[in-house]
Chain A
Amino acid sequence: MPRTLSLLARAGPAAIAIASLLFAWQFYTDLSGISPTTLPSPVRVAEQAWANRRALWDNTLPTIHATMLGFGCSLATAFVLSILLDFSQAMRRALFPLFIVSQTLPLIAIAPLVVLWFGFGLMPKVMLIALVTFFPMLVALVQGYASTEKEISMLLRSMGAGRWRRFRLARLPSAAPFFFAGLRISVTYAVVGAIFAEYAGAARGLGIYILNAKNNFRPDLVLAAVGVSATLTLLLFAATVLVQRLAMPWLRLQRVPRP
């Protein structure tokens, strides 16, 4: 019982903030008499979302699919690269600047090119999602490895543990809190990245749905799709928090500030 109460106490302010925002929005559209093709009211968005639920859902599935695949690839890439960078200083020096440059590329220019090169299938979407999400995780992992307590490394060395052993027993778990911090940032980019990739060219998906709705002067459907995208991101975010709690039960016992 106290647990549910404290959950309510924590979620309450956010719920109130969101509710007041929606309320103000509704109030404004009702009073100003603004055209629904310019700014539809939240009630209208909800109504239209429900009326078009079939089409919305059909376009949400490909986006979920691309997001999962893209984020999975991104996670695997970040992990493999982080190990490579941790084990070899030469690699770190050679590749890190390259990765930073990869993050300076404007997505708006890259996305159509990737579609041009790889077509309208899943491939360009996976690549674009990976491009926008791998970096925070990579940085977090590399920094996490480096945060390993020196004395733990020395201790393992004295026990006769080799380099890979020391990595697995000390560096990898030391990086866990950092990794989850990076993961939380990355995961919020994932759905947006997928929608952007679809926007640049796709047969189906939320991105193309938004594009079509916009071209048909249906801002209510654009906003409905945005709502779906936001919900997806929130769900993914909640999943990372849950996984973190399960994976690192010890963190909640410590009173040290988390990275």
Chain B
Amino acid sequence: MTPKLELEDIRKAFGTTPVLDGISLDVRAGEFVSILGPSGAGKSTLFQMLIGGIRADSGSIRCEGQPLGLEVGRFAFMPQRDALMPWRRILDNVTLGLEVQGMARKPAREKVLPLFPEFGLAGFENHYPAQLSGGMRQRAALLRTVVQERDMLLLDEPFGALDALTRSGMQRWLETMWQRYRWTALLITHDVREAVFLSDRIYVLSARPARVVRDFSVPLPRPRHAGATGLRDASAVEAAVLETLLKTETSGESNP
């Protein structure tokens, strides 16, 4: 089967500083894949290439076998902070993507409204983002992302700004939602536990310039938050991933 997304030997330098040093990875349909790497490794640069902000110096990006051209709109992007527009009510924030696609206001609202309860946002349609808690804002941001019905979700450290407790809650909730909808998703994170908890596969990147050091598959049964055995197995995978990650960090430091 052709992968949904395939990156091959992507290289990028900003000026004389190499940032991406030959990244190759693939994501298959319905798969949840994480990119895990130290901060500043160039993970966000990779996403910007996919959404058309910057171009790779060399290498190829293919979507279902076709080279990714200049067209945008294959990916639904969820940025690090929620990026909700403070001047729009939650409902209007959630329909933003549909609006940009050219959908009229009424059908756009009719499309998103039934999803509010499932995202824990029922009753908050007409609130402004400033009136919502961090977790709710993040769920609104995710709702805004998924209603675009794009081929793939790009999640850029979506829970990075939340406190630890809210973050764990959101991770569980996201896993439940993912099981229901089976979005194809690519997640950027530097949180090992988060990556193991959510992903089918994990790519570990080195420090800058980033290479793929290793990829792990996570053969744990879903739902992931069930029972002590699940926790023990997850810990084993986490330990292995963390080991790899720490090794690359130290070797990256000794590299001039």
A52–B168 Cα distance when bound, in Å, is: 75
Among the 9-residue stretches A28-36, A218-226, A248-256, the one with 4 or more Cβ atoms under 8 Å from chain B is A248-256
CB of B198 to closest CB in A, whole Å: 21
Chain A contacts for B17, CB-based, 8 A: none
For B72, give its contact among A160, A169, A249, A250 (CB under 8 Å). Answer: A160
Classify the interface of chain A: helix, strand, loop or mixed: helix
- Tell me the nearest residue of chain B to A173, going by C-beta: B87
The listed residue with most B CB atoms (<10 A of its CB), out of A158, A173, A176, is A158
Chain B contacts for A151, CB-based, 8 A: 79-81, 83
CB of A154 to closest CB in B, whole Å: 6
- Is A156's CB within 8 Å of the partner chain B? yes
- Is A170's CB within 8 Å of the partner chain B? yes
A156–B51 Cα distance when bound, in Å, is: 10
B97 contacts A159, CB within 8 Å?
Answer: yes
For B77, give its contact among A158, A165, A173, A248 (CB under 8 Å). Answer: A158
> Given A151-B80, A253-B128, A253-B131, is A157 in contact with B85 using a C-beta cutoff of 8 Å?
no
Chain B contacts for A160, CB-based, 8 A: 72-73, 100-101
B148 contacts A159, CB within 8 Å?
Answer: yes
B87 contacts A158, CB within 8 Å?
Answer: no
- Is B52's CB within 8 Å of the partner chain A? yes
- Is A47's CB within 8 Å of the partner chain B? no
For A152, give its contact among B48, B52, B75, B85 (CB under 8 Å). Answer: B85
A57–B101 Cα distance when bound, in Å, is: 55
Chain B contacts for A169, CB-based, 8 A: 85, 96, 100
The listed residue with most A CB atoms (<10 A of its CB), out of B73, B80, B87, B154, is B87
> Given A157-B72, A253-B131, is A248 in contact with B100 using a C-beta cutoff of 8 Å?
no
- Is A155's CB within 8 Å of the partner chain B? yes
A204–B148 Cα distance when bound, in Å, is: 61
For A250, give its contact among B52, B81, B128 (CB under 8 Å). Answer: B128
> Given A159-B101, A250-B130, A253-B131, is A154 in contact with B77 using a C-beta cutoff of 8 Å?
yes
- Tell me the nearest residue of chain B to A248, going by C-beta: B87
A248–B96 Cα distance when bound, in Å, is: 19
Classify the interface of chain B: helix, strand, loop or mixed: loop
A132–B75 Cα distance when bound, in Å, is: 48
- Tell me the nearest residue of chain B to A170, going by C-beta: B85
CB of B90 to closest CB in A, whole Å: 11
- Is B117's CB within 8 Å of the partner chain A? no
A250 contacts B96, CB within 8 Å?
Answer: no
Chain A contacts for B131, CB-based, 8 A: 253
Chain B contacts for A8, CB-based, 8 A: none
CB of B154 to closest CB in A, whole Å: 8
Chain A contacts for B79, CB-based, 8 A: 151, 154-155
- Is A149's CB within 8 Å of the partner chain B? yes
> Given A165-B100, A250-B128, is A154 in contact with B85 using a C-beta cutoff of 8 Å?
no
- Is B40's CB within 8 Å of the partner chain A? no
- Tell me the nearest residue of chain B to A247, going by C-beta: B87
Chain B contacts for A173, CB-based, 8 A: 85, 87
- Is B121's CB within 8 Å of the partner chain A? no
For B76, give its contact among A158, A165, A254, A255 (CB under 8 Å). Answer: A158
- Is B15's CB within 8 Å of the partner chain A? no
- Is A19's CB within 8 Å of the partner chain B? no
A157–B85 Cα distance when bound, in Å, is: 15
CB of A229 to closest CB in B, whole Å: 35
CB of B238 to closest CB in A, whole Å: 29
For B86, give its contact among A158, A165, A254 (CB under 8 Å). Answer: A254
A171–B53 Cα distance when bound, in Å, is: 17
> Given A159-B100, A250-B130, is A149 in contact with B83 using a C-beta cutoff of 8 Å?
yes
CB of A60 to closest CB in B, whole Å: 37
A-B contact pairs, 19 of them (CB 8 A): A149-B81, A151-B79, A152-B83, A154-B83, A155-B79, A155-B83, A156-B96, A158-B52, A158-B76, A159-B72, A159-B96, A159-B97, A159-B148, A161-B100, A169-B100, A250-B86, A250-B128, A253-B128, A253-B130
Contacts A158-B52, A159-B148, A250-B86 given; 12 further ones with Cβ under 8 A? A151-B79, A151-B80, A155-B77, A155-B83, A156-B96, A157-B51, A159-B77, A160-B72, A169-B100, A250-B128, A253-B130, A253-B131
User: Which 4 A/B pairs are nearest by Cβ-Cβ distance?
Assistant: A158-B77, A158-B51, A151-B79, A151-B83
Interfacial residues, chain A to chain B (CB-CB below 8 A): 149, 151-152, 154-161, 165, 169-170, 173, 176, 248-250, 253-255
